[in-house]
Structure 1
Amino acid sequence: MDSINNIDYRVEKDSIGMKDVPGNVYYGVQSMRAAENFHITGLNIHPEIINSLAYIKKAAAITNHEIGLLDRKTAEAIIQACDEILAGQFRKDFIVDPIQGGAGTSLNMNANEVIANRAIEILGGQKGDYSIVNPNDHVNCGQSTNDVIPSAGKMTSLRLLKKLKIELLRLHQAFCEKADEFDHVLKMGRTQMQDAVPIRLGQEFKAYSTAIMRDLRRMDKAMEEMCTLNMGGTAIGTGINADVNYLKRIVPNLAKVSNMELVQATDLIDATQNLDSFVAVSGAVKACAVTLSKIANDLRLMSSGPRTGFHEIDLPAKQNGSSIMPGKVNPVIPEVVNQVAFNIIGNDVTITMAVEAGQLELNAFEPIIFYCMFQSIDTLSYAVQTFVDNCVSGITANEARCRFLVDNSVGIITAICPHVGYQKAADIAKKAMLSGKPVRTLILQEKLLGEEELDHILDPVQMTEPGISGKNLLLKKKLEA
């Protein structure tokens, strides 16, 4: 009893020695040592990997009972404890830091101890009496940290990626809707931040939707690798201490209890040694973040001003932009998307280096891989969510401003070039820039083309589509309306 804090303690023992553990907690001595050794981030373990561990321990208990290694009462108590964790209980008892030495042994043992102590309670015993349910002999039966933790990391990544995909599909749909809404808005296209040739605002937003769909397909491909687990490989993939029947049943049982499409690796040694699949997933997430950041840059540019910038679109005003400049509104949602992308790019570098740092039969750096991976997927999900709800869905077009910039741009000379020749077109462009006169006016003044012919050449549809078709004629009528 701690006389100051009125806390009862139980004494637990591990290979390091004896240690007092608060009597009311479900974690044990190994979790306590880890919490003392690895106070790194100050953050909690991601709730989804706790769920993944509970699914694994539940499937292992079912399997071990099926093959006769766990009696019915012990197996049922472990299963009930896992179900309670999946229902959200005992989360405060997962006390280890996400970043930890030991290839995730601390996290695995934290789960084993919480489940064991709850199972002991269910069977009528006192927490810490591991003669009833032992964290290693019963909860961890047939397992090793080295197959449990990477499998939990893959399962967690899959669940988080599915949530991200939902948000990305919403963003894709939002861009498609804006593409239709803005399809008639003619504006100036730009290359290298200089006037290029006209484009329709809807075409730009359609391109954004296409890029997002490509990111989704890339993500689907990477996710396929996350479905292959090394469960049953135990310490180094050879399956030492795992019953042959356990080896055959563990992944099918895990797939069933978790309702996930999981398969066992054909080469368990490879699957234990090599974590390149996490590089593939991180790369897909990074590529998507880069896409979104580029789009965010475009939106900030097109909305810049409003008086002294492009001001071709308006973004929804979400909050005051300055503590000193009244009326200023900043593009805060695209800005946060940019920042999330920067962080994800950094996480990808960390994941790449950690995967490369694996040695021989194991990679010891799974904790930092998962910490960065889960953060990248989560933050991208949240960034996409706010991007859709607080920015993209509320964008409006400044049609008159867009058309003014086109009409007064030198860039439309490109459309005239095939009719007057490159050199003459270049001369007209120079005169337009020096005089400030529109290209159209100079062409007519120099009688290079007739007004009717010029109208046809500078037709918005003619300048933004390869050729005239029935579809283009309909678009032309919309533009003229």
Structure 2
Amino acid sequence: MEQYSIKEKDFRIESDSIGTREVPKDAYYGVQTLRAVENFKITGLKIHKEFINSLAEIKMASAITNGEVGLLSKNIEKAIVRACDEIVSGALHEEYITDPIQGGAGTSMNMNANEVIANRAIEILGGEKGDYSIVHPNDHVNMGQSTNDVIPTAGKITALRLLPKALNKLKELYEALKAKSEEFDDVIKMGRTQMQDAVPIRLGQEFGAYSAVVNRDIKRIEKSMEVLKVVNMGATAIGTGINADKQYEEKIVPNLNTVTGLNLKQSENLVDGTQNVDGFVEVSSAIKTCAVSLSKIANDLRLMSSGPKTGFGEINLPPKQNGSSIMPGKVNPVIPEVVNQVAFNIIGNDMTITMAAEAGQLELNAFEPVIFYKLFESIETLTNGVDTFINNCILGITANKNRCKDLVENSVGIVTALCPYVGYKESARIAKIAMKTGEPVREIILKLGILDEEQLNEVLDTKAMTEPGISAKQLII
């Protein structure tokens, strides 16, 4: 008898279409959330806090809209709005316990929100958690909605909230690279193609190219964000708006804009807006493209700093930690390495998002949970990766100007500048001699009497080689 008394005190009984379950008495979540926890022990993580807030904002806007059209009593509307406002302020986040990867197209996440909001609203109205005769998770909190319009809309709002942080970091990176391009403008180094000496280039030009691609990535991501502003609220189950009042359908997005401060638009075709998740693919693709750009930059920095005595050694990366547990004094390019790994992860996430989007069938894509899990991860790891790239690497890079100069002057690659003056065949002959004997190109030309010293000084001006233009009056061929 005593055992039963303790159980009765600690649990409440809730029921759903599957049957009845004991739910912890103090829990704000309910039976459907509990079943999801039992069914989907996948990542061991919780859904993103911004996604929790986005769900609460949607539920708030829906309650306001249903109140406006006369379908929800004012006391219930106010209680739901207050509960949602508390959640957006950070309360009750610990009650969202479903795994971010789950079956059911996100129904478990939606019901977790419905149950938490309903039980908090019940408390606000003076009732006890679990008394759904006061506020019901489905009939009141989910009124006029479906998982199939709530979840994709919450995903879009969350991404719209996360992406500006990533963009701000990318803009910082752009400025840092641009500053380095100016700092290194007088550093002449050897350009390389296919890992072989090519022709001279200024280190500043290389960093200028890095800033240019980052700027392009910023614009690409900004453009992709526009597709996230188109939401399918009012679509309910499959885009036909079943169980949603006509006025609700017209008012929900404007009210959601008031709540969120975002410039959202309702999909022109709600069936299309419910069936297809191509917008998330577009955004993920833009993020992936940016990750590819950053990884290429990181690769270049690792190469240019390699050695430092037996490699290129053209630049120095700021030393951040010991590079070996066995080799004293070794320092590794750990920040570019972590940027590479962030990129690998984002590229893999993009493939997951692509396949999940492709796997949608008929009127719904059931795989939105994994799309959001991977998309949010990509955005946040990009943000954090760029932050450490800037502060722990880019800002502290220095150039080994003399080393760069020596490599240029002793490279056969400068022979390319001779082509307009002595022709390709003669230039190739000089290159072969230099490769065979190890003599500098300059000395070979003077020894063979191909050009005099005055001509040669102008032709082999390494800075001039980094800009277009030759003097027609000096052409010999």
Shorter-chain TM-score tier: over 0.9
- The answer for the alignment partner of 2:409 in structure 1 is 407
Residue 468 (structure 1) shift: 8.1
Show the 5 A alignment for 1:33-112: 33-112=35-114
* 1:240 corresponds to which of 239, 242, 253: 242
Q: Secondary structure at the match of 1:271?
A: helix
Q: 2: CA distance between counterparts of 1:136 and 1:168?
A: 42
Name 1:358's counterpart in structure 2. Answer: 360
Alignment of 1:435-450 (within 5 A): 435-450=437-452
Give the Cα separation in 2 of the matches to 1:364 and 1:16: 21
Range 296-305 or range 64-73, more displaced: 64-73
Q: Equivalents in 1 of 2:7, 2:238: separation in Å?
A: 44
- 3-state DSSP class of the match of 1:363? coil
TM-score (normalised: structure 2): 0.97
CA distance in 1, matches of 2:339, 2:114: 39
CA shift digits 1:140-160 (9 cap, x unpaired)? 010000000000111111111
Residue aligning to 2:461: 459
Measure how far apart 1:6 and its partner are.
10
Aligned partners of 1:81 and 1:119 also within 8 Å: yes
For the residue of structure 1 that corresponds to 2:114, the secondary structure is helix
Tell me the alpha carbon deviations over residues 232-278 of structure 1, each in whole angstroms, 9 at most, x when there is no partner. Answer: 00000000011011001101111111111100000000000011111
Tell me by how many angstroms 1:460 deviates.
2.8
Q: Are 1:12 and 2:37 matched, yes or no?
A: no
Q: Which residue of 1 aligns with 2:214?
A: 212
**Could you tell me whether the CA contact under 8 Å between 1:108 and 1:149 is conserved in 2?**
yes
Q: In the alignment, what sits opposite 2:474?
A: none
Letter in 1 for 2:390: V
| Secondary structure of 1:197's aligned partner | strand
1:5 Cα shift?
9.4
CA distance in 2, matches of 1:7, 1:430: 91
The CA distance in 2 between the partners of 1:403 and 1:344, in whole Å, is 38
**Counterpart amino acid of residue 298 in structure 1:** D
Query: CA separation of 1:4/1:71 partners in 2, compared to 1, >3 Å: closer, same or farther?
Result: closer
Whole-angstrom CA distance in 2 between matches of 1:406 and 1:31 = 66
Q: How many Å apart are 1:139 and its aligned residue?
A: 0.5
Q: Indicate which of 332, 336, 346 corresponds to 1:344.
A: 346
Distance (Å, rounded) in 1 between the aligned partners of 2:89 and 2:470: 61
Displacement after TM superposition at 1:64 (Å): 0.8
Matches within 5 A, 1:127-166: 127-166=129-168
Q: CA deviation at 1:454?
A: 1.1
| Alignment-mate amino acid for residue 439 of structure 1 | V
Deviation of the 1:375 alpha carbon:
0.8
Gaps of 5+ in 1: 470-481
Shift of the 129–404 alpha-carbon distance from structure 1 to 2, 3 Å rule, reads same
CA contact (8 A) 1:7 1:22 kept: no
Deviates more, 1:7-16 or 1:399-408: 7-16
Q: Which residue of 2 aligns with 1:227?
A: 229
User: Does the 8 Å CA contact 1:190/1:197 hold for their aligned counterparts?
Assistant: yes
3-state SS of the aligned residue for 1:21? strand
What is the SS of the residue equivalent to 1:304?
coil
Instruction: Please report how far the alpha carbon of residue 398 of structure 1 lies from its aligned counterpart in structure 2 after TM superposition.
Output: 0.5
TM-aligned CA distance change 1:324 to 1:277, over 3 Å: same
**Aligned partner letter, 1:233:** A
The answer on whether the counterparts of 1:2 and 1:8 sit within 8 Å (CA) in structure 2 is no
Q: Counterpart of 1:259 in structure 2: which amino acid?
A: G
**Quick check: 196-205 or 83-92, which moved more?**
83-92
Distance in 1 between residues matched to 2:439 and 2:62, nearest whole Å: 78
Distance of 1:5 and 1:185 partners within structure 2 = 76
Correspondence 1:80-479 to 2 at 5 A? 80-467=82-469
Counterpart of 1:472? none
- 2:363 is matched by which residue type in structure 1? E
Q: Secondary structure at the match of 2:200?
A: strand
Paired with 1:462 and 1:363, the residues of 2 have a C-alpha distance of 58
1:189/1:199 contact within 8 Å kept: yes
| Residues in 1 aligned to 2:171 and 2:191: alpha-carbon distance in whole angstroms | 27
Q: Under a length normalisation based on structure 1, what TM-score does the superposition of the two structures give?
A: 0.96
User: Which runs of at least 4 in structure 1 moved beyond 2 Å after TM superposition?
Assistant: 1-7
User: Aligned partners of 1:93, 1:468: CA distance in 2, in Å?
Assistant: 71
Mapped to 2, the partners of 1:400 and 1:467 lie a distance apart of 26
Find the residue that maps to 2:190 and give its secondary structure: strand
Secondary structure of the residue aligned to 1:460 is coil
More moved, 324-333 vs 429-438:
429-438
- How much has 1:417 moved relative to structure 2? 1.4
Give SS of 1:364's match: coil
Give distance in 2, aligned partners of 1:468 and 1:134: 80
Shift of 1:466: 1.1
Give 2:348's aligned amino acid: G
- Report the secondary structure of 2:463's partner residue: helix
Per the TM alignment, residue 69 of structure 1 is displaced from its structure 2 partner at its CA by 1.0
How many Å separate the matches in 1 of 2:37 and 2:369? 14
Q: How far apart are the structure 2 equivalents of 1:394 and 1:51? A: 38
SS in 2 for 1:154: helix
1:427-468 per-residue CA deviation (whole Å, 9 max, x = no partner) reads 111111111111111111111111111111122331001138
- The 8 Å contact of residues 26 and 127 in structure 1, kept in 2 or not, is answered as yes
User: CA–CA distance in 2 between the matches of 1:104 and 1:278?
Assistant: 16
CA distance in 1, matches of 2:34, 2:449: 88
Cα distance per residue 1:110-138 (max 9 Å; x no partner): 00000000011111110000011110011
8 Å CA contact retained: 1:227, 1:263:
yes
Identity of aligned residues (%): 67
Q: What is the distance in 2 between the residues matched to 1:465 and 1:344?
A: 37
Q: Give, in angstroms, the shift of residue 4 of structure 1.
A: 8.3
